[in-house]
Chains A and B, each alone.
Chain A
Amino acid sequence: MQASRLATLAVMLLMTATPVRAQLERERDHVSLAGAVSGWHAFRLHSDTPSERPSSLLDLRLDAERSGVAHLFARVRTGYDGKIGDPDERNRPFLTLDEVYQDKDLFLEVDEAFVDVFLGDVQLRVGKQKISWGQLDEIQPTDNLNPEDLTEFYFRPELERKIGIPAATLTWYRGPWTVEGVWAPFYTAYRFPHRHDRWFPPILVVPSRVDTPFGSLPIRSRYPDVDPPPRTLASSDVALRVRRFLAGAELSASVFHGWDKSPSFLATGTATLVPTGDPMRPAAPSSDITVRPSLHRITVLGADLAVPIWLLALRAEAAWVHGRFFPVAIQNRVGNDPRLVAAVRAAAERVAASGQPETIALPILPTELERESVQYGVGIDLSVNEPLSRALTGGERLAGTFILLQLLDTVIFRHDQPFISEMIEHVVGFTIRRSFRDERVLAQVKVGYNPNHGDVYVWPEVTYRITPTLHALFEARVIAGNRSQQIGEYRDHDEIVVGLRRFF
């Protein structure tokens, strides 16, 4: 709490400070330091969900360029993360590369730090970097190099979710062709909310008891962090993309081989039976379940396209994914799983006979299974200009409005198990955005809808420019749907976020 107060005080001081922008410019070279300081609070609308404390963030960006020769960019983020329910004091405040659960309330992170070297038609970028491939909005099937920070579900801007990876990128361009090759030598973990954090997914919660044929079984659960892979050449990521600009259309084909950055978990467990001395119930069982992030190597072949048509921009993308694991719904079956029941019953009989406690490994059903899959999507976006607005409304009040509509499908082949996702899972995305009052107010609404399960989230955001450098932020996150699904599980996590951001 002390840390929270200190961080809040620091934010208040920075908010009232005179904006400073350091900049040094010679003839064509430059060095600049810029950034923003933000403070916000999320007010939950359902009191039975985990709460948050106020959060703050200082975001610093250093940019330096020797014109036409080299470019240096570094971004450092530090602050106080009020979402963290049970802070981990180890290594605080430094965010690491190989931990999924970065549950540090006070944090410091080098978000990106890279050098670009320009050699004619070749550009080499070395350092911690974010690589953005693909054409779709928010989720791109061909964009597999950077893991994401999902500690706030998807309610963060895409670039903020993306985690920088240490990598070397070589880009070669000539005429309409561009070839990019990326090598990321180390595994970098995605980030996920920990068990006590507000956005820990409810469908991953292990119940404290499960009903079995021989009574209610108490369960203790653990959520240890990922076992990071060794830092060997064989465990690095590689990717290649070829792009071609042709008759107004931007086309690309890509291949990726490396670690899957989508969250996946494996459950293991033991049952312990102790003698009770009660002849009617001679052994008392209990269970320990461990849910740990799992790691898998995948290969992705993809392609994407962007092309202007009429007043629209059409974007499409598709990828075939080999080696990805998909989560299986086991919560409702585990108590009655015959193999599990038989194992516990056999152990109970042995304990009853021997009078000695015994611990056995539980043959839990797999929580994830590997399947071939394809992900594809198509989207259109439209910027309403003055002539279109006049044609639609007789005036210009719609001019400047941006509208995006997108469909993203995931197809799981050999869908022969109770996967959480259906064989073809659809997600429809919609975004509308415009400004008001001479750009003093910017409003945006994002909607995600899964027609398979009726899941939906609505995410309106309003930014009010109090001054050019001081903005007030208002957001709402509204979620509805099926509790057993990956959007609907957060149906009780509706919240309103209010904050301030000062740029300098």
Chain B
Amino acid sequence: MKAQVHGRWARLTAFVIVLGATAPAAALQLSGGEIIGRMEQARDEGGADASSVLRLEIGSGDDALVRTVAIYRRRCGGEMRSLVVLRDPPDVSGTAVLTAARAGGRPDMWMYLPELGRVRQLNAFAQSERFMGSDLTYEDLGVMTIAGRDHRFLGEAELEGEPVYKVVSRPTPREETGRLLTWVNRATFLPVRIDTFDRVGAMVRTARFADVRDVRGIPTPFSIDLDNLESGRRTRLTLLEVDYFRDLDCNLFREERLAHLR
């Protein structure tokens, strides 16, 4: 089990605990690219010194795979350090991944497996594209962005009672998916919904961001639901706790300290 965690978690290089308060921009004339840029910026707000605990539910009913994860982030010097610790289920509890990311370089990653009792360095480039075996990509989580897409503003609309911008994004040639349709909240610039289509135009997945709460002045979505329309599988991510500006000690973000964390 822990080995699988090895593969699936380690990509959690920069799980940004979310998002940002930005000035309402309804009156502004923004391009599609600018809206997506503001969305990425909003999702990164507060992430330089933050902690959270989340519950990840993959599938539904008795077969659902449920995990509880604690995540800590801190900017230490020129590096953004992320610490991910699995708390539950108990068979993998204590598994921890530390990532040190810096601009323009390969992230450094270490993993502690309680079963192995030693910290091992990982290759960040070889880690999974998806978050802990779910259908959530790191892009869904705001961890990574893909440059080179062509964004086009489609118009203003209302979605589930919220005023939103609607943007369509054309994939880069290297991507295997088709276009993306993104609804962005006009007040917070947080995503409300992202639909992904395949290359022939059929919708393959829908991600919904909800339950936005104000935490230390930062609007934070506490719920992300993702429906994989091809497999019929649902992934639900729920934030149980989140806090910003904790003044976390950078010494916590060292590979020597990975053992016995929670």
Contacts and interface: CB of A to CB of B under 8 A. Distances in A.
> Which of the listed residues B93, B105, B125 has the most CB atoms from chain A within 10 Å of its own CB?
B125
B125 A471 contact: no
A504 B90 CA distance: 7
B122 A465 contact: no
Given A385-B126, A385-B127, A438-B65, A32 B117 contact: no
B254 A173 contact: yes
Contact of A442 (B3, B176, B254): B3
Contacts of B4: 400, 433-435, 439, 442
B260 A132 contact: no
B125 A73 contact: no
Contact of B1 (A123, A158, A463): A463
Given A118-B251, A313-B122, A468-B89, A123 B256 contact: yes
A147 to B, nearest CB: 15
B106 interface: yes
Contact of B3 (A159, A245, A310, A444): A444
A331 interface: no
A130 B1 contact: no
B133 interface: yes
A311 interface: yes
Interface string B42-82: 00000000000000001100010110000000000000000
Interface stretch (B6-14, B196-204, B212-220): B6-14
A387 B137 CA distance: 13
A10 B121 CA distance: 40
B90 A503 contact: yes
Interface in B101-121: 105-106, 108, 114-118, 120-121
Contact of B256 (A71, A173, A313): A173
Interface in B121-152: 121-130, 133
A311 B4 CA distance: 17
Contacts of A307: 121
Contacts of A402: 3, 6-7
B208 interface: no
Contacts of B257: 123
B121 A308 contact: yes
B124 A34 contact: no
Contacts of B3: 402, 433-435, 442, 444
Nearest to A386: B129
A401 B121 CA distance: 17
B249 interface: yes
A400 B93 contact: no
A399 B121 contact: no
B262 interface: yes
Nearest to B246: A28
A283 to B, nearest CB: 57
Contact of B116 (A159, A309, A384, A387): A159
A399 B134 CA distance: 13
B162 interface: no
A439 B1 contact: yes
Q: How extensive is the interface on chain A, given as a class?
A: 35 or more
Interface in A109-159: 116, 118, 120-121, 123, 130, 132, 135, 157-159
A438 B256 contact: no
Interface string A152-177: 00000111001000000001010000
A388 interface: yes
Given A159-B117, A439-B133, A503 B1 contact: no
A34 B90 CA distance: 8
A382 interface: yes
Contact of B133 (A130, A158, A310, A438): A438
Given A162-B117, A438-B133, A465-B1, A400 B90 contact: no
A73 B89 contact: no
Given A159-B115, A435-B4, A468-B89, A386 B125 contact: no
Contacts of A120: 251
Given A435-B1, A438-B65, A250 B121 contact: yes
Interface in A462-501: 463, 465, 468-469, 471, 501
B127 A383 contact: yes
B91 interface: yes
A21 B91 CA distance: 12
Contacts of A463: 1
Top-8 shortest CB links A-B:
A159-B117, A308-B123, A132-B118, A503-B90, A435-B4, A311-B126, A468-B89, A306-B121
Given A157-B116, A313-B121, 18 more contacts: A63-B260, A116-B260, A159-B117, A162-B117, A178-B254, A313-B120, A313-B126, A383-B128, A388-B126, A400-B8, A433-B4, A435-B4, A435-B133, A438-B133, A463-B1, A468-B65, A468-B90, A469-B91
Interface of B: 1, 3-4, 6-8, 10-11, 58-59, 63, 65-66, 89-91, 93, 105-106, 108, 114-118, 120-130, 133, 176, 249, 251-252, 254, 256-257, 260, 262
14 contacts: A123-B256, A159-B114, A311-B126, A382-B126, A383-B6, A390-B176, A435-B3, A438-B58, A438-B133, A439-B4, A439-B65, A442-B1, A465-B91, A469-B89
Interface of A: 19, 21, 30, 32, 34, 36, 63, 65, 68, 71, 73, 116, 118, 120-121, 123, 130, 132, 135, 157-159, 162, 171, 173, 178, 245, 248, 250, 306-313, 382-388, 390, 399-402, 433-435, 438-439, 442, 444, 463, 465, 468-469, 471, 501, 503-504
